[in-house]
Amino acid sequence: MKYLLLLLALVFIAGCVGSQMSSQIEAGDQIAVEYTGKLQDGTVFDSSAGRAPLEFTAGAGQMIKGFDTAVIGMKQGEKKTVTLPPEEAYGMPDTANVFVLPLSNIPNGTKVGDALYATNGQSVVLIAVTNETATIDANHFLAGKTLIFDIEVVKITKK
């Protein structure tokens, strides 16, 4: 009888350990992932390679919508590749984010295509110059693009 109780205790403990290891990500879990983000032509625009894994709270809106949705249900050690249309990533470019300014507001030597930083720290791109004006685009540089992410879950801390 004593051995039967010990055996049952071991099975219970093994079951608990196994279920904890295979638990799926739920909204509110703190997670860490390794990832690589690519454009459709294969160009890598961001990666955690050579850096610490990316940590965030799943489902909390800290990531772009499609990435946040993609990790829900994954398990530790699981890998996945997801393709996100612009609506699930940075959205479509918005003409309301394109501004025409007096050329005097742009630093000397700035060329079309150069990135500038607005007073709020936001990155903008100079897209056109005339004798008197400069046109800048404040859309995210990935707006309008389909993004491909390779994701690997390396840690899950349950909520």
Tens digits of per-residue pLDDT, 106-143? 999 999 999 999 888 889 999 999 999 999 999 999 99
Strand 54-57 versus strand 30-39 pairing type: antiparallel
Residue 19 in this model has a pLDDT that exceeds 50: no
Ramachandran class of 11: left when φ > 0, alpha when ψ lies in -120 to 50, beta otherwise? alpha
Question: pLDDT by residue (tens digit) across 53-89?
Answer: 999 999 999 999 999 999 999 999 999 999 999 999 9
pTM of the model: 0.78
Residue 22 in this model has a pLDDT that exceeds 80: no
Buried b (16+ CB within 10 A) or exposed e, 60-96: eeebbebbbbbbeebebeeeeeeebebebbbeebeee
What integer pLDDT is reported at residue 2 of this predicted model? 53
